[in-house]
């Protein structure tokens, strides 16, 4: 879990920053906020189903992630803490490239919507620059596409997991901001979502890693 170790170290740095690093609170970083997000999205088969030894199989689907978020931040001395929520979508899907099928561990897959609920904490590196770490719960859908030779099937996998990340936010003005963020998600449980008249499947174990680099711009009320 090298990604977890890196981000936990970033969390410790943000939470335990020395007084010389932390600046006095800037009101541009407190209160409710809304933001639009876009960036790079990659989902990959986790280590439990890793077959990187197979020639030409990178097991990764990549695309553009896009969406919106809301949050609320408060100042506790020199520390800023907040809660946040996001709804995003992605264009990532399995592809055939030069005869290579990106297996991804599930088969032919399209990425669906992603819900996130979490918290963040950070300090001001300068009066207009916030550095922070974050973590929380994520629920993502992936759509399995298949064909038995006669019929086409589209079936959603509903996955649950956790997300950790770190980023920097810059106050462009008293009410506007821009941010850059990296986050890692791992999904470990899932179920198949069937039609309304059919119960969902029993939950089962999976192992899917997700890496995202996000840009965001927003407005604070």
pTM: 0.80
Higher pLDDT, 182 or 207: 182
> What mean pLDDT do residues 168-181 have?
96
* Residue ranges of domains in the chain: 2-220
Round to whole Å and give the CA distance between 115 and 163: 11
Q: Which residue has the higher pLDDT, 77 or 218?
A: 218
Token pair 């030409």 is found at: 56
Residue 163 pLDDT more than 80? Answer: yes
Give the pLDDT band of residue 196 (cuts 50, 70, 90).
low
Residue 178: is its pLDDT beyond 80? yes
Q: Count of CB atoms within 10 A of residue 72's CB?
A: 15
Q: What is the pLDDT of residue 140?
A: 96
The structure tokens 């997991």 sit at 161
Q: What is the mean pLDDT of residues 85-95?
A: 93
Q: Per this entry, what is the length of the chain?
A: 221
- C-beta atoms surrounding 82 within 10 Å: 21
In this prediction, residues 67-75 reach a mean pLDDT of: 97
How much of the chain exceeds pLDDT 90, in percent?
A: 54
pLDDT score at 73: 97
The confidence band for 8, taking pLDDT boundaries of 50, 70 and 90, is: very low
Does the 2-220 domain belong in CATH 3.10.310.10? no
What does the pLDDT read at residue 12?
45
Q: Mind listing the pLDDT tens digit for each residue in 17-47?
A: 444 444 566 788 999 999 999 999 999 887 7
Q: What is the pLDDT of residue 95?
A: 78
Q: Does 128 or 49 have the greater pLDDT score?
A: 128
Is residue 133 within 8 Å of 120, Cβ to Cβ? yes
Q: How confident is the model at residue 200 (pLDDT cuts 50, 70, 90)?
A: low
Express as a percent the part of the chain with pLDDT over 70: 71
| Distance from C-alpha of 208 to C-alpha of 185, rounded to nearest angstrom | 8
């Amino acid at each position: 879990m090298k990604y977890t170790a890196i981000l936990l170290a970033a969390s410790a740095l943000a939470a335990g920053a020395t007084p010389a690093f932390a600046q006095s609170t800037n009101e541009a970083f407190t209160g409710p906020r809304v933001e639009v997000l876009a960036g790079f999205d990659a989902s990959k088969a986790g280590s439990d189903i890793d077959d990187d030894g197979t020639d030409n199989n990178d097991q990764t689907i990549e695309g553009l992630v896009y969406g919106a978020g809301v949050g609320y931040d408060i100042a506790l001395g020199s520390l800023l803490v907040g809660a946040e929520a996001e709804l995003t979508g992605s264009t990532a899907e399995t592809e055939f490239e030069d005869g290579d099928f990106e297996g991804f561990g599930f088969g032919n897959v399209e990425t669906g919507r992603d819900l996130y609920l979490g918290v963040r904490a950070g300090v001001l590196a300068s009066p207009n620059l916030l550095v922070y770490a974050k973590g929380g719960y994520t629920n993502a859908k992936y759509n399995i596409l298949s064909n038995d030779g006669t019929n086409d099937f589209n079936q959603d996998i509903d996955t649950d997991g956790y997300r950790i990340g770190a980023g920097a936010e810059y106050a462009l003005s008293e009410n506007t901001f821009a941010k850059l963020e990296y986050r890692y998600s791992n999904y470990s449980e899932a179920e198949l979502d069937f039609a309304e008249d059919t119960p969902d499947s029993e939950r089962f174990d999976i192992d899917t890693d997700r890496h995202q680099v996000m840009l965001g711009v927003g407005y604070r009320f």
